[in-house]
């Protein structure tokens, strides 16, 4: 560097002096001759060396040339110097074309060589990663080179905007490329740090690090340095304070002058170290990653090659390519997820022979004929989807999705009836006693419509239905029954004396044995874990399974999360339903909302008041609800009967309050978000949600579904928190979100909006679904999820065992990813 710098200075002087050959003592040709060895040493590019030798030769009689010839010689040397610098530092020091002026570009001349150790080698093969450092990485689940390649940055800092020093602006993130004029240890207060003066062709600037005195030694005078950071003003002077820095050597920039990756770290790992290592791994190992995606899919979906994508995620050339790189890896994750889900489903279906039911048309007709309403088209479609499954000699496994109030229960009842008509037992499990009781009474009503005679025997109901040869016995099994009653039920269930049993978790206790369980229905399936679902399944020999939910999950997502289930959707409400009038109210109108509520109550109606969500702790939330309840009972509605419901109450107490509300003893139910899904209180007409901005749209929609179940017009009032002005709820987005509730009554649309705004919530995580974890992909990216699913289905159709040679790598990858969560055979 220094030799070529001096050469440039000499040439400049020579030009200034009109090519009089007085720039160096002894003449330019002698100087070149003498310095040739040194100059050559600083050049490691063959082409440039050859050119230099040629120039040197041509210059050997510089002293005896005329001015024109001398000028040509000098110009050629200048050209050569520029080329040299370009190669060394990319375009950094040569004048940048104007369009490119603000971009730092570093041309890579020599990549550190590819390394031959395999991807499964421990990360300790990297210099600097000691066993102690490796234990830190292990905390981040990084153990092998492969892990490190897939150890992705959380975000980037954009240091790609290069500025000449004279144009630096205070307060912005900027990058300069400069020469170090001077660096020294400086004292700040009682601490030692480093102070440097650096400059470029437009000016100089002071750079300080308040606590890294050792930097002073590393910053050699005349060395080139890249500084990235924010400029501040100090005593009227611009200064970089503790910026990122990097010496400009014959290497790619990783800490400055680019999109710089920020990794999720743990104590004892430092950003600069980790960047150095990830860079080394990418340069040395990324090429070894085998691209397992079939070429056809890659082309069709316009995806980057895998090694490139990995490299670009770590050290992207720009935002655009970073996005594409992430998309490639996210696609991989979702595609493998889908392939696994499809395989699981196929395996499950193949291994689940079931009971083929006879579909008795006269039973269906008889039942439908006696209903006080006709099925909606959506109900009818779904009914036939279910009946078609029940006919098969393999077990049905179906998810029935439908908005609150869309009429799922009647469909479940028909399926249960069909089981009974085939001399099998049917069971329906609900998450709470109140819900189970509600189902019991509704299902008995539906069935008794069709019966000629109905008898109540203890807890059981017996219906004589004309078109069934035997009377139908329906029972309710819940935990709060007396032990003697429970035991009696257990016995009857075991002996087949009960045809349809409706209950809670009490149904899956080990004491419960069925005579011949043919159909198991679970309601509000999101409230049960996978295990409880399968516990009910275990109660019979491969019974048909129907799970019902009102949680509107977008279709592709449902098919992924509940991949072993087929999906039916009731996407239509019974006619004549009134939309729940929804209003967003500013907090100052809370009093008005209370008087509105009071008027409804004086007309004999009931109301819910939901207290703000406190996510941090259920205890705090219960406390807040309790004091809100006390306040409302004392100050606002002293003459009305209020009830309180929160998550910390013993289950028995919860049930009691719900029952009192249901029976109309209470006027207003003050509740936290625990207010039961699926609960049907036709007399309730007002749902008032306080602190509404804290809830997701889907959740608000569920609350709203608690009212408007009767014939009266119902109302939903959404009030943000009082302190809303100061919290993030004051943002226009939060208001827009709540106002969307006024306009939109479609649960699916709201769920998608929620996903877009808030990402997948706890219901939608892959974790509890027994699926592999996702690193980069988001299930809420429905577009990519759908694309991955289509591609997976297409591939599955053409080669479902992935037996074709071109799918070998894919097959390997699939079994690796799924090995932790499921078996792939």
At 453, list the tokens.
Answer: 């005679």
Q: What are phi and psi of 161, to 5 degrees?
A: -85, 105
Write down the least CB distance from residue 501 to Mg ion, Å.
18
Q: Where are the alpha helices (DSSP H) in 427-507?
A: 433-449, 483-495
Q: Is 224 an interacting residue with respect to ligand ADP (CB under 6 A)?
A: no
Q: Is 90 an interacting residue with respect to Mg ion (CB under 5 A)?
A: no
Q: Is 402 an interacting residue with respect to Mg ion (CB under 5 A)?
A: no
Write down the least CB distance from residue 371 to ligand ADP, Å.
8
Question: Which span sits near Mg ion by CB under 5 A: 514-522, 674-682, 708-716, 785-793?
Answer: 674-682
Shortest Cβ contact with Mg ion: which residue? 678
Give the DSSP per-residue string, 702-734. Answer: HHHTTS--SSS--EEEEE--GGGGTSGGGSHHH
Give the DSSP per-residue string, 604-632. Answer: T-EEEEEPPP-SS-HHHHHHHHHHHHHHI
Q: Is 311 an interacting residue with respect to ligand ADP (CB under 6 A)?
A: no
Backbone dihedral region of 691: left (phi > 0), alpha (psi from -120 to 50 degrees) or beta?
left
Mark 178-217 with x for binding to ligand ADP (rule: CB under 6 A) and - for no binding: ----------------------------------------
Q: How many residues bind ligand ADP (CB under 6 A)?
A: 15
Closest CA to 743 of 706, 701, 782: 701
> Which of residues 408 and 694 has its CB atom nearest to ligand ADP in the complex?
408
Per DSSP, what are the bridge partners of residue 573?
none
> Which of residues 520 and 692 has its CB atom nearest to Mg ion in the complex?
520
507 binds, among ligand ADP, Mg ion, none (CB under 5 to 8 A by kind): none
Write down the least CB distance from residue 678 to Mg ion, Å.
4
> Which of residues 366 and 574 has its CB atom nearest to ligand ADP in the complex?
574
> Which of residues 573 and 740 has its CB atom nearest to ligand ADP in the complex?
573
716 binds, among ligand ADP, Mg ion, none (CB under 5 to 8 A by kind): none
> Which of residues 256 and 379 has its CB atom nearest to ligand ADP in the complex?
379
Is 416:426 a contact under the CB 8 Å cutoff?
Answer: yes
Write down the least CB distance from residue 334 to ligand ADP, Å.
30
Q: Containing H/E element for 194?
A: strand 191-200
Q: Is 402 an interacting residue with respect to ligand ADP (CB under 6 A)?
A: yes
463 binds, among ligand ADP, Mg ion, none (CB under 5 to 8 A by kind): none
Mark 360-399 with x for binding to ligand ADP (rule: CB under 6 A) and - for no binding: -------------x-xx--x--------------------
Closest CA to 225 of 244, 242, 208, 210: 244
Q: Is 409 an interacting residue with respect to ligand ADP (CB under 6 A)?
A: yes
Q: Containing H/E element for 416?
A: helix 408-421
> Which of residues 189 and 372 has its CB atom nearest to ligand ADP in the complex?
372
Q: Is 164 an interacting residue with respect to ligand ADP (CB under 6 A)?
A: no
Q: What are phi and psi of 162, to 5 degrees?
A: -90, 140
Question: Which span sits near Mg ion by CB under 5 A: 56-64, 252-260, 442-450, 673-681?
Answer: 673-681
587 binds, among ligand ADP, Mg ion, none (CB under 5 to 8 A by kind): none
Q: Is 678 an interacting residue with respect to Mg ion (CB under 5 A)?
A: yes
CA distance 512 to 277: 59
Handedness of CA 652, 654, 655, 660 (dihedral sign): positive
CA distance 629 to 332: 51
Choose, by CB under 6 A, the member of 176, 386, 550, 593 that binds ligand ADP: 550
How are beta strands 191-200 and 203-209 bridged, if at all?
antiparallel
340 binds, among Mg ion, ligand ADP, none (CB under 5 to 8 A by kind): none
> Which of residues 366 and 574 has its CB atom nearest to Mg ion in the complex?
574
122 binds, among ligand ADP, Mg ion, none (CB under 5 to 8 A by kind): none
Write down the least CB distance from residue 797 to ligand ADP, Å.
34
- Give the Cα-Cα-Cα angle 444, 449, 450 (nearest 5 degrees): 105
- Give the Cα-Cα-Cα angle 378, 384, 388 (nearest 5 degrees): 150
Is 757:749 a contact under the CB 8 Å cutoff?
Answer: no
Write down the least CB distance from residue 422 to Mg ion, Å.
25
Matching residue, tokens 């004892």: 268
At 341, list the tokens.
Answer: 């889900």
> Which of residues 565 and 649 has its CB atom nearest to ligand ADP in the complex?
565
Mark 288-307 with x for binding to ligand ADP (rule: CB under 6 A) and - for no binding: --------------------
CA distance 144 to 206: 42
CA distance 154 to 372: 58
Q: Is 278 an interacting residue with respect to ligand ADP (CB under 6 A)?
A: no
Question: Which span sits near Mg ion by CB under 5 A: 148-156, 366-374, 670-678, 697-705?
Answer: 670-678
Q: Where are the alpha helices (DSSP H) in 233-318?
A: 271-285, 295-300, 306-314
Q: Where are the alpha helices (DSSP H) in 286-360?
A: 295-300, 306-314, 319-350
- Cα 592 to its chain centre, rounded Å, is 40
CA distance 771 to 821: 6
Choose, by CB under 6 A, the member of 89, 406, 549, 671 that binds ligand ADP: 406
Choose, by CB under 6 A, the member of 316, 407, 518, 720 that binds ligand ADP: 407
> Which of residues 284 and 678 has its CB atom nearest to Mg ion in the complex?
678
410 binds, among Mg ion, ligand ADP, none (CB under 5 to 8 A by kind): ligand ADP
At 522, list the tokens.
Answer: 């679970």
Mark 492-531 with x for binding to ligand ADP (rule: CB under 6 A) and - for no binding: ----------------------------------------
Shortest Cβ contact with ligand ADP: which residue? 407
At 461, list the tokens.
Answer: 């109901």
Question: Which span sits near Mg ion by CB under 5 A: 110-118, 469-477, 526-534, 675-683?
Answer: 675-683
Question: Which span sits near ligand ADP by CB under 6 A: 90-98, 294-302, 406-414, 604-612?
Answer: 406-414
- Give the Cα-Cα-Cα angle 321, 292, 318 (nearest 5 degrees): 5
Choose, by CB under 6 A, the member of 307, 366, 496, 574 that binds ligand ADP: 574
How are beta strands 224-234 and 237-241 bridged, if at all?
antiparallel
Give the DSSP per-residue string, 536-596. Answer: HHTTSSS-EEEEEE-S---HHHHHHHTTTSEEEEE--PPTTPPPPEEEE--GGGHHHHHHH
373 binds, among ligand ADP, Mg ion, none (CB under 5 to 8 A by kind): ligand ADP
402 binds, among ligand ADP, Mg ion, none (CB under 5 to 8 A by kind): ligand ADP
379 binds, among Mg ion, ligand ADP, none (CB under 5 to 8 A by kind): ligand ADP
Write down the least CB distance from residue 695 to Mg ion, Å.
21
Mark 644-683 with x for binding to ligand ADP (rule: CB under 6 A) and - for no binding: ------------------------------------x---
Q: Angle of helix 2-16 relative to helix 28-41, nearest 10 degrees?
A: 150
Is 412:525 a contact under the CB 8 Å cutoff?
Answer: no
406 binds, among Mg ion, ligand ADP, none (CB under 5 to 8 A by kind): ligand ADP
Choose, by CB under 6 A, the member of 410, 506, 565, 675 that binds ligand ADP: 410
Is 737:729 a contact under the CB 8 Å cutoff?
Answer: no
| Residues sharing a CB contact under 8 Å with residue 70, sequence separation 6 or more, in sequence order | 14, 19, 21, 62
Q: State the Cα torsion 560-561-567-573 to the nearest 10°.
A: -120
Q: How many residues bind Mg ion (CB under 5 A)?
A: 1
Binding footprint of Mg ion on the chain (CB under 5 A): 678
Binding footprint of ligand ADP on the chain (CB under 6 A): 373, 375-376, 379, 402, 404-410, 550, 574, 680
């Amino acid at each position: 560097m220094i030799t070529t710098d001096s050469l440039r200075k000499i040439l400049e002087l020579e030009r200034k002096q009109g090519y009089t050959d007085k720039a160096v003592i002894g003449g330019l040709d002698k100087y070149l001759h003498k310095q040739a060895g040194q100059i050559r040493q600083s050049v490691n590019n063959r082409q440039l060396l050859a050119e230099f030798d040629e120039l040197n030769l041509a210059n050997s009689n510089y002293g005896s040339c005329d001015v024109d010839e001398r000028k040509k010689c000098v110009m050629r040397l200048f050209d050569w110097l520029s080329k040299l610098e370009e190669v060394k530092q990319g375009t950094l020091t040569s004048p940048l074309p104007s369009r490119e002026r603000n971009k730092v570009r570093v041309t890579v001349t020599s990549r550190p060589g590819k390394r031959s150790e395999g991807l499964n080698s421990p990360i300790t093969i990297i210099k600097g990663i000691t066993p102690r450092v490796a234990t830190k990485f292990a905390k981040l689940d990084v153990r092998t080179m492969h892990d490190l390649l897939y150890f992705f940055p959380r975000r980037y800092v954009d240091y790609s905007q290069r500025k000449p020093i004279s144009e630096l602006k205070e307060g912005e993130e900027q990058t300069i490329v400069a020469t170090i004029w001077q660096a020294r240890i400086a004292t700040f207060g009682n601490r030692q740090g480093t102070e440097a003066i650096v400059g470029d062709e437009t000016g100089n600037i002071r750079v300080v690090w308040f606590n890294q005195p050792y930097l002073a030694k590393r910053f050699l005078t005349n060395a080139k340095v890249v500084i990235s950071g924010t400029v501040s003003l100090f005593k009227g002077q611009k200064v970089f304070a503790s910026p990122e820095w990097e010496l400009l050597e014959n290497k790619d920039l990783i800490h400055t002058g680019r999109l710089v990756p920020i990794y999720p770290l743990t104590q004892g790992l430092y950003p600069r170290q980790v960047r150095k290592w990830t860079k080394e791994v990418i340069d040395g190992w990324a090429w070894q990653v085998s691209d397992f995606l079939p070429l056809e899919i890659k082309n069709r979906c316009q995806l980057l090659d895998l090694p490139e994508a990995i490299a670009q995620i770590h050290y992207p050339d720009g935002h655009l390519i970073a996005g594409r790189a992430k998309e490639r890896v996210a696609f991989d994750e979702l595609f493998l997820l889908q392939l696994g889900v499809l395989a699981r489903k196929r395996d499950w279906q193949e291994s689940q022979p079931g009971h083929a039911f006879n579909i008795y048309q006269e039973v269906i007709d008889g039942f439908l004929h006696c209903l006080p309403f006709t099925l909606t088209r959506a109900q009818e479609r779904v009914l036939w989807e279910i009946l078609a499954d029940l006919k098969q000699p393999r077990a049905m496994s179906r998810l029935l999705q439908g908005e609150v109030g869309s009429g799922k229960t009647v469909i479940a009842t028909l399926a249960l009836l069909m089981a009974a008509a085939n001399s099998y037992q049917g069971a329906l499990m609900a998450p709470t006693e109140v819900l189970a009781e509600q189902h019991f009474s509704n299902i008995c009503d539906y069935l008794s419509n069709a019966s000629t005679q109905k008898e109540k025997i203890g807890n059981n109901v017996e219906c004589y239905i004309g078109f069934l040869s035997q009377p139908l016995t329906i029972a309710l099994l819940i935990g709060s029954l007396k032990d003697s009653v429970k035991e009696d039920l257990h016995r009857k269930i075991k002996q087949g004396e009960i045809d349809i049993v409706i209950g809670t978790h009490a149904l899956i206790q080990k004491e419960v044995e069925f005579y011949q369980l043919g159909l198991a229905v679970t309601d509000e399936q999101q409230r049960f874990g996978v295990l409880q679902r399968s516990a009910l399944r275990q109660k019979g020999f491969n019974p048909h399974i129907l799970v019902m939910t009102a949680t509107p999950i977008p279709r592709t997502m449902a098919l992924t999360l509940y991949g072993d289930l087929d999906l039916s959707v009731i996407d239509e409400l019974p006619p004549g339903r009134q939309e729940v009038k929804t209003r967003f109210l500013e907090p100052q109108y809370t009093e008005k909302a209370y008087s509105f509520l009071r008027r409804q109550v004086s007309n004999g109606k009931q109301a819910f008041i939901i207290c703000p969500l406190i996510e941090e702790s259920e205890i705090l939330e219960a406390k807040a609800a309790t004091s809100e309840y006390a306040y409302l009972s004392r100050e606002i509605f002293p003459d009305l009967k209020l009830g309180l419901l929160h998550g910390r109450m013993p289950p028995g107490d919860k049930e009691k309050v719900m029952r009192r509300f249901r029976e109309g003893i209470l006027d207003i139910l003050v509740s936290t978000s625990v207010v039961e899904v699926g609960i049907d209180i036709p007399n309730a007409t007002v749902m008032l949600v306080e602190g509404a901005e804290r809830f997701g749209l889907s959740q608000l929609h569920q609350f709203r579904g608690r009212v408007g179940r009767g014939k009266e017009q119902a109302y939903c009032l959404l009030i943000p928190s009082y302190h809303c002005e100061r919290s993030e709820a004051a943002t226009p987005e939060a208001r827009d979100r709540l106002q969307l509730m006024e306009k939109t009554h479609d649960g699916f649309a709201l769920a998608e909006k929620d996903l877009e705004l808030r990402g997948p919530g706890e219901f939608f995580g892959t974790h509890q679904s027994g699926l592999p974890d996702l690193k980069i992909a988001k299930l809420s990216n429905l577009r990519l999820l759908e694309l991955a699913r289509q591609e997976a289905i297409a591939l599955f159709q053409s080669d479902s065992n992935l037996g074709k040679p071109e799918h070998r790598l894919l097959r390997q990858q699939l079994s690796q990813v799924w090995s932790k969560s499921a078996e792939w055979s």
